[in-house]
Structure 1
Amino acid sequence: MVWIVAALILLVLIVMIRLDFVYGREHLLKSSINRTYPIRKSDLSLFIDGTDLYADLFDEIRRSTHSVHVLFYIMRNDEESREFLYLLKQKAAEGVKVRLLLDYVGSFTLKRKYISQLKESGVQFQFAHKPRLPFFFYTLQARNHRKITVIDGKIGYLGGFNIGKEYLGKDPKLGYWRDYHLKVTGEAASDLQDLFLKDWFHAVGTENTIANHPLYFPSLEEGSSKVRVVPTFAHHLEALFLSFIKEAKSEIHICTPYFIPSHTLHEALITALRKGISVKIMVPMRSDHPGVKEASFPYYEKLLEEGCEIYRYYYGFYHGKVMVIDDSFCDIGTANFDKHSLYLNAEVNLLIFDREFIRSVKATIFEDINRSERLTLEFYHKRSLLERLKERAAAAISHFL
């Protein structure tokens, strides 16, 4: 009798979660509007090492005179995070307008005493995407995965790095952290500012009172590279990635820490391979989350059979989120090639149309390939029964990994 009751309770919970997710997503898609920005002219710097990025980012914040706007998915309680928070408090004490927006789930463990200290020092603080009723489970999954910093409305940053010791290679389980993060000056910085403020006032729950304010949106000079800021939320990313694949004429590079594509994208890659288009995929050998590595494997077999080159980065942990299509454009940002980014997260990427910059990105990717092991069909078919069972289990819940 006890087992029957327990089974009924479990069944009811599963049904409730399923309904929560389905109707929560339906409600969000009805109300979501995908923002679009025009092509701009900006100057770019690429950071692939956390130490270099932090040094540059911290220095630019120290030099700020009016405003510092920061959005991260993850903020830790470690020494590196405390140093960053201390810097924000210092700038607020100097009279700089400092706004810090963190994802509620990604930064849930941040100590509340640190948040109180920030507010006491004058830093404006908010959590983004707090889970809420009536669709608690869905909103728990739908995260703000963006990483944006805008300083004085003139200097912007976006990419894969968060704030914490692991991003400096100080986590012994992960080792060296390889990532791609951009510094943007010139016209596109205003679009990053606009996007940050939209996310900020959505979290605050009030109207944007400083839209187009000249202190936050100063006149900016053109840079040397054509770029476009591309925000996505929920379902928009799949269509974007699909358009990239369909535009390819000769080669596609995909770099991602989590390769869990939708059926549509998986089939599009197979179609590209059958057309003779070279497809190279870079993923990490190690995993920073349970199940994501296993969930990727079921997608590899057909790709390998069609000639796809899949490389697994072994020199630490690979967290880059990059797509390069021929020599025509590349895409760098926060979006992973997985179902969480495709269907749930708020993301932001930068499309880059500068051939010289694209060549430098491809050269960096080939450096990463030299620190990787190519996955072969022979290795793939030698996986143990236990590994295959883990993969099937992970694939079944891949939307939530």
Structure 2
Amino acid sequence: MTWNFSSPALELAATSVHPAASFWGIIEPYLTFLFSLSVFLIAFLIVLENRNPSRTVAWLIILNFLPIVGFILYVLIGRNVRKRKLFRHKFISNADVLKKLETRPRPLLKESDFWMYPHLASKRRLLNLMTNVSQSPFTVHNVSRILTNGDETFRQILTDMSKAKDHIHFQFYIIRHDATGQQFKQVLMDKARQGVKVRVIYDGVGSVRLDRAYIAELREAGVEVAAFFPVILPFLNNKLNYRNHRKIVIVDGKIGFVGGLNIGDEYLGKDTRFGFWRDSHVQLEGEAVYLLQNIFLKDWFFITDKSVNSDRYFPPLGEIEGEEIIQIAASGPDSDWELIWQMYFSIIATAQEKIYITSPYFVPDDSITMALKTAALSGLDVRILLPSRPDHQTVFWASRSYFQELLEAGVRFYLYQPGFVHAKILLVDGLVASIGTANMDIRSFQHNFEVNAILYNSSSVAKLEADFFDDLEDSKELTLDDYQRRPWHHRVLESVARLLSPLL
């Protein structure tokens, strides 16, 4: 018996086209044309923006090989005009805080006063440069103290916060809700319940895993908490690329902290992935704290629309025993001038004897690279300390793509062995040191909000240099021969990562 399944209805169904498919067939060419036109126009705009050539080429390559991904990324993070719109109302004049400083019994250091510091005579050109490029005054009456690693840093911050009588301002890129985070939370809550004004800023991406219950407990205790650009849909958010990487603590407007450490167990070396965590922070007392305070209050105003400008946050400092010259340099995407980038270049370009750099991420631009090569070729002692293991893979391999040209110029590289080195230090001639949150990479220079303290010829500069040489004892020097014998696949990873680095 033969079964016949054919019928006129079935034959019609087999040959007919579904209405949705027919509609898609009609509009598909138009959508393809519009998308292609959009990609072409974006490429045209990128060229017209006169960006850094390497950044332009990176965007064009992404658009060519991954047009859909490139289109979305450019719309979200690539447009300079969007950056300007986002941060248009972040501009707050420094006039008020500078007036507060200038009305103090001891005025700020001016260019005409540099002769008073003969030990910095060799740095007169740098001081002039820093006056113009940093947009930060030289504060004179300060005391600084270098804090090495998490144990010492956390202990000192907790001690000073527990003594707060008026306010605590607490800002970190990463806050964990682990044991270390709980310890800080408890002190912040206790002080708030005692009537101390406590404000906390955390970054929406850096602290994306911060438990909501942690934040709720802080608020219930009276702590004011604000997130910098919280990201709910990471891949559909135009704020993803602009992060607040600052780490600032201010106690009563008189004591300040800044440096490389975030809040979490890993910064005490308790993360088995990294092991020992090598980092540096600095405690400040004196006029420089006013400038840290100003930066915090600007960030607070930007994310909360609440202006805080009471004199209580800039109290009389009393007698300061130290006479240290300190600048506070802040930079971020709210400015068309990359101030910390300029500051790094100025310090390196005016070096006369030695340049020592510690950074977890090293992706310099052409100007920094040329300044380092020129210094080494001129006979200066140029040494760079980097991690031996990756934290972020792309940045890790991009960093290594710069080794050969710098090694050939005489720059010496050291790879830290016991764990992960996360300090961000620049030392020049034993007279000038930068310590803070900015890495020696494009992201810190152009995309992140950063803050560094610049120290001039103090015991803290000597301490940082001593720490640097201690770290070299725990590091392995990478020679040009060693580097050239690396596996072929490392070369591929370095080249690809370097190509993508302008977009990181």
* Residue aligned with 2:205, SS: coil
Aligned match of 1:109 = 209
Equivalent in 426, 446, 457 of residue 343 of structure 1 = 446
Aligned match of 2:184 = 84
Aligned match of 2:313 = 216
Q: Which residues of structure 2 form unaligned runs of 5+?
A: 1-23, 40-65, 95-134
Aligned match of 1:141 = 241
CA drift of 1:292 comes to: 2.1
Aligned match of 1:310 = 413
CA drift of 1:131 comes to: 5.3
Q: Which amino acid aligns with 1:28?
A: R
Q: 1:145 to 1:116 in 2, by over 3 A?
A: same
Q: 1:267 to 1:388 in 2, by over 3 A?
A: same
Q: Which residues in structure 2 correspond to 1:321-332 (within 5 Å)?
A: 321-332=424-435
Question: CA contact under 8 A between 1:69 and 1:196: conserved in structure 2?
Answer: yes
Q: Which residues in structure 2 correspond to 1:94-173 (within 5 Å)?
A: 94-130=194-230, 139-173=239-273
Aligned match of 2:78 = 22
CA drift of 1:84 comes to: 1.1
Q: Which amino acid aligns with 2:411?
A: C
* Residue aligned with 2:239, SS: helix
**Cα shift readout 1:210-231 (whole Å, capped 9, x = no counterpart):** 31x2321111144331111111
Question: CA contact under 8 A between 1:17 and 1:137: conserved in structure 2?
Answer: no
CA drift of 1:23 comes to: 1.9
* Residue aligned with 1:387, SS: helix
- State yes or no: 1:365 paired with 2:464: no
**Cα shift readout 1:144-200 (whole Å, capped 9, x = no counterpart):** 100000011111000001100011110111111111100001111111111111111
Question: CA contact under 8 A between 2:329 and 2:340: conserved in structure 1?
Answer: no
CA drift of 1:327 comes to: 2.4
Q: Which amino acid aligns with 2:205?
A: V
Q: 1:260 to 1:93 in 2, by over 3 A?
A: same
> For the residues of structure 1 that align with 2:371 and 2:242, how far apart are their CA atoms?
25
Equivalent in 356, 359, 362 of residue 256 of structure 1 = 359
Q: Which residues of structure 1 form unaligned runs of 5+?
A: none
Q: 1:92 to 1:48 in 2, by over 3 A?
A: same
Aligned match of 1:226 = 325
Question: CA contact under 8 A between 1:160 and 1:321: conserved in structure 2?
Answer: yes
* Residue aligned with 2:311, SS: coil
TM-score, with structure 1 as normaliser: 0.92
Question: CA contact under 8 A between 2:77 and 2:240: conserved in structure 1?
Answer: no
RCO higher in structure (CA 8 A, sep ≥6): 1
Question: CA contact under 8 A between 2:142 and 2:286: conserved in structure 1?
Answer: yes
CA drift of 1:90 comes to: 1.2
CA drift of 1:82 comes to: 1.4
> For the residues of structure 2 that align with 1:237 and 1:225, how far apart are their CA atoms?
21
> For the residues of structure 2 that align with 1:369 and 1:260, how far apart are their CA atoms?
21
Aligned match of 2:103 = none
| Structure whose residues are more often helix by fraction | 2
> For the residues of structure 1 that align with 2:72 and 2:208, how far apart are their CA atoms?
25
Aligned match of 2:11 = none
Question: CA contact under 8 A between 1:45 and 1:183: conserved in structure 2?
Answer: yes
Question: CA contact under 8 A between 2:436 and 2:452: conserved in structure 1?
Answer: yes
CA drift of 1:132 comes to: 9.8
**Cα shift readout 1:218-263 (whole Å, capped 9, x = no counterpart):** 1114433111111111333222211111111121111100011112
- State yes or no: 1:37 paired with 2:136: yes
* Residue aligned with 1:139, SS: coil
Q: Which amino acid aligns with 1:185?
A: E
Question: CA contact under 8 A between 1:146 and 1:334: conserved in structure 2?
Answer: yes
* Residue aligned with 1:324, SS: strand
Q: 1:16 to 1:319 in 2, by over 3 A?
A: same
Two-structure CA RMSD over aligned residues (Å): 2.6
**Percent identity over the alignment?**
35
CA drift of 1:95 comes to: 1.0
> For the residues of structure 2 that align with 1:27 and 1:14, how far apart are their CA atoms?
18
- State yes or no: 1:298 paired with 2:354: no
Deviation >6 Å, runs of 4+: 4-9
**Cα shift readout 1:305-327 (whole Å, capped 9, x = no counterpart):** 01111111112110110101112
Aligned match of 1:75 = 175
> For the residues of structure 2 that align with 1:56 and 1:17, how far apart are their CA atoms?
42
> For the residues of structure 1 that align with 2:257 and 2:81, how far apart are their CA atoms?
30
Structure index of larger Rg: 2
Aligned match of 1:51 = 151
Q: Which amino acid aligns with 2:136?
A: Y
* Residue aligned with 2:392, SS: coil
CA drift of 1:357 comes to: 2.8
Question: CA contact under 8 A between 1:141 and 1:400: conserved in structure 2?
Answer: no
